[in-house]
């Protein structure tokens, strides 16, 4: 089971793991309503290195980015659920809109995001979401990778299906 660490400790953790010769992988997300898409994504990220550290967006940022009514699950519980996955070694809750500060402190060997994010300008031109953390990672010589998403498996899809089912039951 993974350990939840304070944001202030993430830099020291990265230094210690690198000193031990470990290949550090970092990813981040909201992880509201943990589902199989999250699990497969985190397992794929973990397979890229020796240690997987996961950043979890705090409640305020999740509300800002996902809208009213989100998160459904509070940040402490989301962090605990993610830490409970066998593929996750450490979890850190962060309070910024992007993970740039966490990446800058941790300096992971590999930064991973889902396939809906762009890791270069060509992918951005093709309509994928820009990845602001990529410049930080490349700045210290790290690697940016994406892993495929599981089609139809997102918290947004789950919430939509729940609402549709609820609406269908109302007279």
Per-residue pLDDT, 21: 98
Q: Which residue range forms the structural domain that includes residue 133?
A: 3-169
Per-residue pLDDT, 71: 95
pTM of the model: 0.91
| Domains contained in the chain, number | 1
The CATH number of whichever domain residue 49 belongs to comes to 3.40.50.620
Residue 101: helix, strand or coil by DSSP?
helix
Summarize pLDDT for 61-88 with one digit per residue, the tens.
999 998 988 999 999 999 999 999 999 9
Per-residue pLDDT, 164: 81
Residue the block writes with tokens 């010589």: 141
Q: 4: phi > 0 → left, psi -120 to 50 → alpha, else beta; which? A: beta
Per-residue pLDDT, 149: 80
Q: Which residues of the chain have pLDDT under 70?
A: 170-171
């Amino acid at each position: 089971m993974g350990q939840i660490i304070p944001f202030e400790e993430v830099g020291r953790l990265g230094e210690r793991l690198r000193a031990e010769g470990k290949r550090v992988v970092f990813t981040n997300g909201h992880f509201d309503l943990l589902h199989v898409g999250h699990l497969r994504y985190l397992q794929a990220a973990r397979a890229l290195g020796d240690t997987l550290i996961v950043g979890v967006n705090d409640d305020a940022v999740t509300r800002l980015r996902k809208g009213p009514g989100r998160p459904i699950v509070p940040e402490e519980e989301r962090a605990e659920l993610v830490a409970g996955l066998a593929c996750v070694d450490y979890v850190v809750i962060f309070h910024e809109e992007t993970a740039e500060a966490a990446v800058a402190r941790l300096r992971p060997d590999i930064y991973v995001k889902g396939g809906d994010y762009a890791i270069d300008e060509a992918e951005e031109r093709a309509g994928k979401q820009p990845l602001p953390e990529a410049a930080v990672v490349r700045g210290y010589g790290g690697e940016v990778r994406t892993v495929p998403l599981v089609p139809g498996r997102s918290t947004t899809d789950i919430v939509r299906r729940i609402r549709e089912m609820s609406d269908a039951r109302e007279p």
